[in-house]
Amino acid sequence: MMVLKNKLIKTIWDELSGHLDWLKHHTTWLRAIVGVMYFLLFTILLSSNIFVSTLQIEVGEPSPQLITAPWTKDIVDQVKYNREKEAAAKGVKPIYKADEEYLALLTKELGNAFAALRENSASEDERISELKKTRLFASLPEGVLTSLIETLPDELDKSEKVGRDIILTRARDLDIGSRTSKDVAVFRDRIKAELDQSDLTQDAKVFFKVFMDLEVSQPTLIVDESTTEAVRAAKRAEIKQEVLHYKANQKIVGAGEIVDETIYQVLVDYGLINSQNTWKAASGIALIVLIGIASIAAYLYQYKRDVFLLANRLVLIGLIMILVVAIGRAVIALNLGADFNTLSGMLIPVAWATMTVAILVGVDIAIMVSVVLAVFVAVLVDPALSTSFSLHAGVVALFGGIVGVYSVSRLSQRSDLARAGIFVSGVNVLMISGIALSSDMRLAVWGVGVILGIVNGLASSFLTVGALHWFESGFHITSSVRLLELSDPNRPLLKRLLMEAPGTYHHSILVGNLAEAAAEAVRADATLVRVASMYHDIGKLKRPYFFIENQFTQDNPHDKIAPTLSSLIITSHVKDGLELAKENKLPLQIQDIIAQHHGDSLVSFFYHKALEENENVPEETFHYEGPKPQTKEAALVALADNVEAAVRSMKQPTPGRVEGFVRKIIKDKLNDGQLDQCDLTFQDLDRIAMAFVRVLSGIFHSRVEYPEMPSIRESSSNDSVNKKPSEEVEESETAQTKKQPDSPEGAAEAKVSQED
């Protein structure tokens, strides 16, 4: 039975391992699974408060149970507020104005009629006959029409002006003009009465009365919609919201009590009503989450393909965002008091997420994360996005997150993280103050908001420092903070290197200076390059005195052994260094640079020395195992390593000779194929050479020769060796290089071979 159980477990494990191996080789499916998983998690977290309860309650029905407030909250009685606003608006009577379009038409008709009366091109009978073709003149008595035709033009002009003024002035009068069709007849009668009292001729009065009956057929006033609506809006604005203050565990409605509209609104605001729109709201949140995740994925695919292809980076970004939203969900549930609960969103540490992503993944990606998280925070505070609180929280989260990103974008020391927290706190205070000024926030609420903003910034900084180690270890990422820790001279490996191989230690420091300057010139990771340079030769700790920079006596152990063995010892420092790096758990990036900083180059000094003894010696024995540098950073360390060792052995290192020699070394490495597998361009190589020369010029600058003082000459004559300091140095250098070629290039090549 036990055997069957073990076989079953082994079968299940093999099956699971097979699926995991399949996923590793099918990264597209892995990224899709990760995306779906985070989509579901974000949607659940952001919409969880929509599904707080399953109460089924309707307005006008008795409550099935006692319902109390889950937490302290201020709730606006929206139903009453809306009802009172509409009542105030309905109380506003319509405001009228003259129908200028219609009155312009009446004015035109009057003008045309009097123009026809003034026309005298034909005989009187012909004119009367022509005028009666129109309805207005046909309705006039024969005698009136004849009298009007015979009236002088000046009299006609005067009559037209008086009658027109009476009609149009009264038509525009808001008290006299007609507002509805029923008012038209009354308006006509009033105008007729006023015409009777005017000084118009009797014939003119008859004409205008007929005109009123025939032409004035609709109201002369219309409703002024814009003015009326403005007055109604003003009346609505005068209505103040009534805020209901509920404390935690306070009764909302008792068992059997009728649920009115106000109570129903309170239950809805608390999320205690399982309304039929719950799934609709959740679907809307899911759509927002989908757009947010898709935006980040599209950005990574389009502009950061290297990050998009690394599943662990995608998991890390999603995990950090999930943690922030989860913390936000817990923060929203905090009870800050009835007046301050709306400020809880100011505590959500979005800056922690953006700073962590900026340090571990990239600055530009962190900016994108900041934008998406700001939207998520707004939804978290108010899933319906119907209040200003969600906008306020989202704005504070957005700007705090962006400032956090730029605060750590050039992280060079651990204290930068503390300053980043201060910067985030500062921008939070400014944003909350701006919101307070624009929304007429009370002073006490503003004060609490400022405190929360400061706590947010400092907490983001503390969380970043505390979480970096775990994220680095869990996802095998080396951050600049980790690199800064490794650059501490008190680290065990560096202390050993200083004490046991001091020449190698100082060589590594100089290589770091050269490589860092070159990295800044070609936009590589300068911090990684500098720290990797400090550790690139730790393998020499195993046999330090076999490397010339650690030989402080005249004896050279390589003179007593075969060139083949010397080459083996020299090349083995790479493998030894890699073993030491793994034992001390140095980051993978540094391990890679240790393994690649010599590529598969030839140890030429001992190879040529071996050829002098045996012409058939195989060249493969004198090559490093490789691999060649795979990244810019590894190539920079390799070039800086060769340049520093070679230039240090030059005699009379003038700036011109140094530059020519540096370019020759870089060219030789290029021709040897050592730079084939990294992405350095010819333009990068030129910039690297210039950076090397600039640093080396500061190291090998000319010095003033100090004159000999009498006291020194007298004291030196009593020494057992009566030599000047400059002569001692010269003889020492001659002794060290007497077995090497005489030319600077040859001496440098020999020195590089023995050092490396």
CATH topology for 506-702+736-755 is Hypothetical protein af1432 (1.10.3210)
Angstrom distance (rounded) from CA 19 to CA 16: 5
For the chain, helix, strand, coil in percent to 5 are 70, 5, 25
* Cβ atoms < 10 Å from Cβ of 710: 7
Q: Which residue has the higher pLDDT, 167 or 733?
A: 167
**DSSP conformational letter for 549:** G
Say what the pLDDT of residue 277 is: 60
Q: What is the mean pLDDT of residues 632-639?
A: 94
Does residue 121 surpass a pLDDT of 50? Answer: yes
State whether residue 503 is helix, strand or coil: helix
345 close to 376: Cβ distance less than 8 angstroms: no
Does residue 238 surpass a pLDDT of 70? Answer: yes
Say what the pLDDT of residue 506 is: 92
Q: Which residue has the higher pLDDT, 177 or 57?
A: 177
156 close to 118: Cβ distance less than 8 angstroms: yes
Q: Which residue has the higher pLDDT, 690 or 261?
A: 690
Bridge pairing between strands 251-253 and 67-68: antiparallel
Say what the pLDDT of residue 326 is: 92
Q: Which residue has the higher pLDDT, 497 or 130?
A: 497
pLDDT in tens, 563-618: 888 888 888 999 999 999 999 989 888 999 999 999 999 888 888 888 888 888 88
pTM for the model stands at 0.58
pLDDT in tens, 436-477: 888 777 788 888 889 999 999 999 999 998 888 888 888 888
- The phi, psi pair for 221, rounded to 5°, reads -120, 145
Angstrom distance (rounded) from CA 662 to CA 517: 14
Per domain, the residue ranges of the chain are: 2-49+277-477, 96-223, 506-702+736-755
pLDDT in tens, 9-61: 555 545 544 444 544 445 677 778 888 999 999 988 888 766 654 566 778 88
Kindly state the helix (H) or strand (E) to which residue 96 belongs, with its residue range: strand 96-98
Does residue 703 surpass a pLDDT of 70? Answer: no
Report for 122-131, 575-584, 608-617, 712-721: range of highest mean pLDDT: 575-584
Q: Which residue has the higher pLDDT, 539 or 756?
A: 539
162 close to 200: Cβ distance less than 8 angstroms: yes
Kindly state the helix (H) or strand (E) to which residue 740 belongs, with its residue range: none
Does residue 173 surpass a pLDDT of 80? Answer: yes
How many Cα atoms within 13 Å fall on the side-chain side of residue 556? 17
- The phi, psi pair for 321, rounded to 5°, reads -65, -40
pLDDT in tens, 310-338: 888 889 999 999 999 999 888 887 766 55
Give residues with Cβ within 8 angstroms of 585, minimum separation 6. none
Say what the pLDDT of residue 239 is: 83
pLDDT in tens, 638-671: 999 999 888 877 777 788 888 999 999 999 999 9
Q: What is the mean pLDDT of residues 244-250?
A: 77
Does residue 636 surpass a pLDDT of 90? Answer: yes
Does residue 690 surpass a pLDDT of 90? Answer: yes
Does residue 287 surpass a pLDDT of 90? Answer: yes
357 close to 366: Cβ distance less than 8 angstroms: yes
Does residue 753 surpass a pLDDT of 50? Answer: no
Mean pLDDT score of the chain: 82
